[in-house]
Amino acid sequence: MVAGYGLRSGVGGAGVFLSWILDTGCYATATEDPAAAGPLPLANDGFKFSMPVHFHLAMPLFNREMKIFSGTAHKELALKIAESVGVPLADATVTSFPDGESRVKINENIRGRDVFIVQPTCPPTNHNLMELLILIDAARRASAYRITAVIPYFGYARPVLIRYIQQKRIDNLAIVSPDVGGLKLAAAYAEALSATLAIVGKRRKSPTETEALHVIGEVEGKNVLLVDDLTETAGTLTSAAVILKKQGAKDIYAGVSHAVFTEIAHKRLMHSEILELITTNSTPVRLHPECRITVLSIAELLGEGIQRIYSNESVSSLFEINAVQ
């Protein structure tokens, strides 16, 4: 018997979908009689040996049933993904022991199934990551054929944001990176939205506070979209909005793939120059009635990714920013 595990990642190796393939019960034979199978020669630097091996497919390679599981990090998103795919969320008990250790029990048969586990690595990061690993281990021990970790807390929510901005039809738009490190991301947005590009130079005063110093590029008389992959305190965005307004910018929007808001973020957004902050439900978003926050769903996007993996189709093209029109 030949058995093994293989690891592959979707999205060009960057990793929103991570798949473990478990091949079990696979035998090889040249005849219908295993006893009549000839030896398979194997060579290895200076010596040779042979062993009888025969192949027999224990299950068909295709048409395996799909199972979507969720950890505790964002079950609401997992339910929406399952709904978009058209399957029920699979049954698993995911709780904690009294000492805080994660407890996982899969409550249905998944032997030979194609398993997808939805779990963003948002705070509490260590707990959610460990819970994901324990879910993967439980599925592997239950003899799932393939295990794919769906981790929405990566930078692949951008196509959803771009589609939303296109629908708003904001004229005379400039894409602004709130710091030098986000220039590549901002350039991708600018190309996809046929907008101009600018950068805000900043100085970090503390872990939660930054100061915007200057603007590189033209923003006077333009509507502005600040873009970033992640915000927690909104310090970089709100300080950038202040200097952009001083430079003559008109309406200021912010587009953030993942919003892990703290209390200070809400306070800053309430008194900021940002007209609307647009984010996604890749993590649970803490809303505030006095903050202008729009949350877009990535459930259909991830559901389509799951369908493509299940059907052995390309996933990379789904997340190409320039392909979204």
Distance of CA 167 to the CA centre of its chain: 23
Contacts of 189 (CB under 8 A, 6+ apart): 158, 162, 175, 195, 225, 227, 255, 321
CA distance 62 to 260: 39
Which ranges in the chain belong to alpha helices (H)? 75-85, 125-141, 158-168, 183-193, 235-246, 263-270, 299-310
Sequential DSSP letters for 138-186 = HHHHTT-SEEEEE--SSGGGHHHHHHHHHHHT-SSEEEEESSGGGHHHH
By annotation, the residues acting in catalysis are: 202
DSSP state of 89: B
Is residue 188 helix, strand or coil? helix
Burial of 314 (0-12, 13-18, 19+ CB in 10 A): exposed
Cis bond before residue 207 (omega within 30° of 0): no
Q: Note whether 67 and 115 are within 8 A (CB).
A: yes
Tell me the pairing of strands 252-259 and 102-106. unpaired
Take residue 248 and report the two structure tokens written for it. Answer: 């003559």
